[in-house]
Chains A and B, each alone.
Chain A
Amino acid sequence: MGSGSSTPHHFVLQKAESAFKAAVLIQRWYRRYIARLEMRRRCTWSIFQSIEYAGQQDQVKLHDFFSYLVDHFTPSSHNERDFLSCMFTEKRLLKDPEMEKYCDYESIEVPDYYTGPHVSFPLLPDHATALVEAFKQKKQLHARYVVNILHEARNHLIQLPNINRISTCYSEEITVCGDLHGQLDDLIFIFYKNGLPSPERSYVFNGDFVDRGKGSIEILMILFAFMLVYPKEFHLNRGNHEDHIVNLRYGFTKEVMHKYKVHGKKILKMLQEVFCWLPLATLIDGKVLIIHGGISDKTNLELLEKLERHKIISTMKYTKKPEKEKLVEESRSSSPWFPLKSRSVPSSPLRLSPQKGSRSASIPCSFIPNRKEISKRVRKSVQLELEKCRQQVGVSEFKVQEELPLLPPESELDSCDLEGVNYEEWKQVADILWSDPMPQEGCKANTARGEGCYFGPNVTEQMLQRHNLQFLIRSHECKPEGYEFCHNRKVLTIFSASNYYEVGSNRGAYVKLGRDLIPHIVQYQANRATHTLTMRQRISRVEESALRALREKLFAHSSSLLGAFKSYDLDGTNFITLSDWSAAVESVLHLGLPWRVLRPQLVTHTTNNMLEYKSWLNDLAKEQLSHENIQSSLLEVLYRNRSNLETIFRIIDSDHSGLISFDEFRQIWKLFSSHMNIDISDESICDLARSIDFNKDGNIDINEFLEAFRLVEQSYLEDKDSELKTSETSDSSCSSQGIH
């Protein structure tokens, strides 16, 4: 069709059309590819966050467990009672002369062969810079200097108010940095990119300097050094991780003990006294409020300014029951030890009251005022309960006394003093350090973290108006871009630990404010490797990591999963639908993840859209187990609870010696297993303990014990293979692979 003259025109049109169509096709295809990547990225993020918060919840549960023990435990024997008091007695270094003795760094000798940096006072800018350089070269600061710096830091911090007021009049610009979490590379990068602190260059570090990363102590040393050198220009806020209880779980305690084998304990003790003196907030020009977590609808700056912040050693939650009797009622119907078996944490702290006494300050507990009256009444019935479960659990090796068990002296029980700080004040601080913003209006308890609140845009608005502020800067939450505005740009989250979850997971950022108080954000990613990866590669890598973590969690719940799957397979066909798989997994893990979206990554072999669940669980186990000679159900339980176990062990090992006796180990295990509802026979525990006690001296190195169950190849384990094998053959009940 068409005449000769229109043919070339027609041809050109056709060609243009087909080029157009081809382009659309390619673009369509590519956009879909990117969308799928984006979905994967979001899911990966959810995985990391939910696992992180689930860990947080465990921590709170653990804490509840200890509080409960202290409240109710009536040891049936002298041994038990002593053991428990040992567990909780950590006298607080309140008195100054004691403190002075503890900070005695002068007696610590620095050997001649020490090649690390030296520090002398008064500290000069060069010293601080030298520290940064030394740490860049992986040198370690000698314990003497660490203690010295901590001592001076504390002296300085004591003079500071709760809310640090600074101004842009003095220095041209102020740089605010968020969480660093022990990632020394990021701090070094910030100083490299933005410049070292100076009278013209102010810095505010908004908490969470430690835990998780491997350079926590080095970061602290650098930050404290600069704070001492430039007291007017260098400012620190307290974060929720500047807390020794949180440190027990999240790695800082471990790092210190590992790097400072002789003086670590001293350093840790001193840190408790330094962290509590960190200011709670910083206020720039009276207009920009910087706090680590957030606010609540009750946040009151006047109250915050007046309270004695150093009395709040830890902001970890301590639950309290409304009345003792109610608790006994509940305890009868469900678990004898601890009524709250569900994953959810109580949504609001129950009624609390002032504390008295001098016991462990490390675990704040609270008691109702008329406890003495009620307690006698209640004690009897509680004892009955406890006797029952003690028998269940087999704590019968302790001699059961004929008479009513003696209670620890009242002074011990009415313990944990937050003298001079009432609940309201404690909550003000907890809210500042733990809260997160949410898009919805209102203010509700932060169930993900177990502390603080979720606060909405109206809460922010009210706060700003009440105190005539312009906006808030906070940290506390990891953001893919290192920062995020919300609440109509009135709240800025700034997070400075890049690659926090995994290499490539997120950028870090810091914000600069000049006289105009307009925020200028700078982003970075402190790992060159990520720059050379394509988006797909970056996402895949982070995703791999997230999925690995998720599979570990799935494995740790194998038994419960099996039960859940079976409930969907009533005919015993050994198959379930993929839909049922999703429902079952959520019902066991409670992570709130989009399982149907994740499923293709987690379930790879299906027949007719049905899953043979037993072999799926077996595949999981195969992947996770590196040594078949370890009883897998035991492994599963230990694995699920390994971070809890470690925390408990560290608390019990109160002299931080790294050793606990055989007996202590068994006692701990019994208390712990009955609380966590673990069903493991005594014999298995004994066998296990025996096989790990290699030198047979009745002592177990905590680290060795935990290492034994890590899924990383440990060379010593290969040596001990033969010993482990012999213990395995003696216990036939659990010798097959996990699934029965």
Chain B
Amino acid sequence: MGLQEIQKKIKDAFEVFDHESNDTVDVREIGTIIRSLGCCPSEGELHDLIAEVEEEEPTGYIRLEKFLPMMVKVLLERRYRPIPEDLLLQAFEVLDAAKEGFLTKEELMKYMTEEGEPFTQEEMEEMLSAALDPETNTIQYRDYLAMMVIDEN
């Protein structure tokens, strides 16, 4: 993809959240924009990126003219690539101490809300709504992943 095309792509995604049509977006939406452009940063990495493009005195808004060059670089350098499916599976397996092929609801909740970069309650509920098998009250993570992968593509 040429440089121009990359820039246009970034601008388009940026514009979706530019509610005032003045080339700025709320800093809280930056994560969504970056992720929708194909990157998969952790929260920590996201904070670093935001710090790079924030104003000297943070206004709560990010300007396109600062965001664009940073994002171009990220895309060209292919940083924060999406996670391959098998790695994800391994991650679930690590959490599955008993190696039973599933996680209980309590286990998943504990890990997701207490470990790593914890989920908010909303995020947790949302994940459970799709991942939880209501009959067994467990997360059959292999099936769940398979379903998510299909959905992505």
Contact = CB atoms under 8 A, between A and B. Distances in A.
Interface string B59-73: 000000000000000
Contact of A594 (B12, B35, B129): B12
B55 interface: no
Nearest to B8: A596
B77 interface: no
B117 interface: yes
Interface in B33-48: 33-36, 39-43
Given A23-B95, A31-B43, A596-B8, A36 B83 contact: no
A35 interface: yes
28 contacts: A19-B115, A21-B94, A21-B116, A22-B90, A22-B95, A22-B111, A22-B116, A24-B42, A24-B116, A26-B111, A27-B117, A30-B119, A33-B148, A35-B34, A36-B152, A39-B13, A39-B32, A39-B33, A42-B16, A42-B17, A534-B130, A535-B130, A536-B130, A578-B5, A579-B4, A582-B12, A594-B12, A597-B16
Contacts of A42: 16-17
Contacts of B42: 24, 27-28
Interface size class of chain A, counting residues whose CB lies under 8 Å from the partner chain: 35 or more
A121 interface: no
A26 B85 CA distance: 11
Nearest to B96: A22
In this complex, which of B16, B21, B112 has the most chain A Cβ atoms within 10 angstroms of its Cβ?
Answer: B16
Nearest to A38: B32
Contacts of A38: 32, 36
A36 B34 CA distance: 10
A689 to B, nearest CB: 44
A39 B95 contact: no
A11 interface: no
A24 B46 CA distance: 13
A34 interface: yes
Nearest to B45: A28
Given A26-B91, A26-B112, A535-B126, A32 B13 contact: no
Interface string B13-38: 10111011110000000011111100
Contacts of B19: 439
B123 interface: yes
A439 B92 contact: no
B83 A29 contact: yes
B76 interface: no
Contacts of B40: 28-29, 32
B88 interface: yes
Contact of B36 (A24, A25, A26, A39): A39
Interface of A, helix, strand, loop or mixed by DSSP? helix
A594 B15 contact: yes
Contact of B94 (A18, A30, A440): A18
A624 interface: no
A23 B9 contact: no
Contact of A27 (B34, B94, B119, B129): B119
In this complex, which of A22, A34, A38 has the most chain B Cβ atoms within 10 angstroms of its Cβ?
Answer: A22
B92 A26 contact: yes
B146 interface: no
A34 B92 CA distance: 19
B126 A34 contact: yes
A419 B127 CA distance: 62
A20 B16 CA distance: 34
Interface in A542-596: 577-579, 582, 594-596
B122 to A, nearest CB: 10
B94 A19 contact: yes
A299 interface: no
A176 interface: no
Contacts of B126: 34, 534-535
Nearest to B95: A22
Contacts of A382: none
Interface in B67-105: 82-83, 87-88, 90-92, 94-95
A609 B9 CA distance: 14
Given A20-B116, A579-B8, A25 B87 contact: yes
Given A29-B40, A536-B151, A579-B2, 20 more contacts: A19-B111, A20-B115, A21-B94, A21-B116, A22-B91, A22-B95, A23-B95, A23-B117, A25-B91, A26-B88, A27-B119, A28-B40, A28-B42, A30-B123, A31-B43, A32-B40, A33-B148, A35-B36, A42-B16, A42-B17
Nearest to B32: A35
A438 B148 CA distance: 38
Given A35-B35, A36-B35, A535 B129 contact: yes
Contact of A43 (B16, B90, B92): B16
A341 B118 CA distance: 56
Interface in A1-50: 18-36, 38-39, 42-43, 46
Given A534-B130, A597-B12, A579 B41 contact: no
Nearest to B21: A440
Given A22-B91, A34-B126, A35-B35, A594 B16 contact: yes
A596 B115 contact: no
B94 A22 contact: yes
B5 A579 contact: yes
Contacts of B39: 32
Interface string A432-469: 00000011100000000000000000000000000000
Contacts of A35: 31-32, 34-36
Nearest to B10: A596
A594 B95 contact: no
Interface in A655-687: none
B82 to A, nearest CB: 7
B12 A23 contact: no
Contacts of B41: 28
Nearest to A583: B8
Contacts of A33: 148, 152
A484 B29 CA distance: 18
A27 B13 contact: no
B31 A27 contact: no
A541 to B, nearest CB: 13
Interface string A264-299: 000000000000000000000000000000000000
